[in-house]
């Protein structure tokens, strides 16, 4: 019983490391070959996890083999456009200039109901509002609405918003983010001076952030309830 417990922990760590090396992707954004490898890794990990008679090294070796395969295929995808089309496929236009492409739906085995569902997922309830709908290789559907149906942006009114930049966390749950302070060219003394304006010390803050305009957001940690 205890052996299975430790075997599960080891395999979990191995799978976690392997998935980390595979990159940052949401499940819905995985390419077909990535999804296949992810499923196989799960199966390979479950066998030695439950069967104590199978050496754990066998499962780890097989998982590492899949990782190498994934890295090789990913490298081929980067280097060769033709190989990328074979392995991942090509995006297909389902709606072209406001007209549904029936042949494309048939080739992709995509029903009208599925297409309407994907549109609703993107808050598009009327198919007549769509100029283009593109089925990506990951299975996601990209929607481009007609110009008169798109959300307005400041550029439409000739307005140029001020640059906002990227907000930086300076304190998170009472811990000083030293690296972020260095990137801003600031030190703890500067941070203490700014946070004291809100009536407390940096170590007492739940969160302190600063945006590109130099505006602070500060919130004090609530008192611990014993």
Q: Quick one: pLDDT at residue 24?
A: 61
Which token pair is 82? 């033709």
Q: Residue 226: CA atoms inside 13 Å, Cβ hemisphere, count?
A: 0
pLDDT at 17 over 60: yes
Q: Specify whether 80 is located in the same domain as 15.
A: yes
Pick the more confident residue, 190 or 80: 190
State mean pLDDT over 75-79: 85
Comparing CA positions, the residue from 71, 101, 74 lying closest to residue 87 is: 74
Say if 110 falls within a structural domain: yes
pTM, 2 dp: 0.61
Say if 186 falls within a structural domain: yes
Distance CA 208, CA 196 (A): 12
Q: Quick one: pLDDT at residue 29?
A: 64
CATH code, 208: 3.30.240.20
Tell me the per-residue pLDDT of 18-63, one tens digit each, with 9 for 90 and over.
877 776 665 556 677 777 888 888 888 887 777 777 788 888 888 8
**Full domain range(s) for residue 132:** 92-149
Number of domains in the chain: 3
Which residues contact residue 167 at a Cβ distance below 8 angstroms, ignoring those fewer than 6 apart? 209, 210, 211, 212
- pLDDT confidence of 225, banded at 50, 70, 90? very low
Which token pair is 126? 């009327």
Q: Specify whether 75 is located in the same domain as 108.
A: no
Q: Average pLDDT over the chain, rounded to whole?
A: 84
Among 68, 86, 104, which residue terminates a domain? 86
Q: Specify whether 203 is located in the same domain as 144.
A: no
**What distance lies between CA 195 and its chain's CA centroid?**
33
* DSSP letter (8 states) at residue 31: -
Q: Specify whether 98 is located in the same domain as 124.
A: yes
DSSP string, 94-122: EEETTEE-HHHHHHTT--HHHHHHHHHHT
Distance CA 122, CA 210 (A): 32
Say if 132 falls within a structural domain: yes
Comparing CA positions, the residue from 170, 162, 169 lying closest to residue 202 is: 170
Tell me the per-residue pLDDT of 149-170, one tens digit each, with 9 for 90 and over.
888 778 778 888 777 778 899 9
Q: Specify whether 50 is located in the same domain as 98.
A: no
Say if 155 falls within a structural domain: no
- pLDDT confidence of 226, banded at 50, 70, 90? very low
170 near 209, Cβ under 8 Å? yes
Distance CA 144, CA 133 (A): 6
**H or E segment to which residue 189 belongs:** helix 188-196
């Amino acid at each position: 019983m205890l052996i299975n417990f430790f075997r599960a922990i080891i395999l979990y760590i191995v799978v976690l490391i392997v998935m980390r090396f595979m990159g940052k992707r949401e499940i819905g954004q995985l390419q077909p070959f990535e999804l296949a490898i992810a499923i196989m890794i799960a199966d390979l990990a479950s066998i030695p996890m439950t069967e104590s008679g199978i050496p754990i090294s066998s499962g780890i070796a097989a998982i590492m083999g899949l990782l190498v395969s994934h890295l090789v295929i990913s490298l081929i995808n980067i280097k060769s456009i033709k190989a990328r089309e074979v392995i991942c496929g090509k995006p297909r236009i389902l709606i072209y200039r406001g007209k549904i492409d029936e042949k494309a739906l048939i080739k992709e085995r995509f029903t009208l109901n599925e297409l309407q569902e994907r549109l609703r997922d993107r808050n598009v309830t009327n198919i007549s509002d769509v100029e283009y709908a593109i089925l990506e290789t990951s299975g996601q559907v990209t929607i481009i609405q007609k110009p008169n149906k798109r959300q307005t942006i400041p550029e439409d009114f000739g307005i140029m918003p001020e640059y906002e930049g990227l907000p930086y966390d300076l304190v998170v749950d009472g811990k000083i983010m030293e690296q972020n302070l260095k990137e801003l060219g600031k030190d703890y003394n500067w941070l203490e001076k700014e946070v004291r304006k809100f009536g407390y010390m940096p170590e007492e803050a739940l969160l302190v952030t600063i945006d590109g305009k130099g505006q602070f957001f500060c919130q004090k940690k609530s008192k611990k309830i014993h």
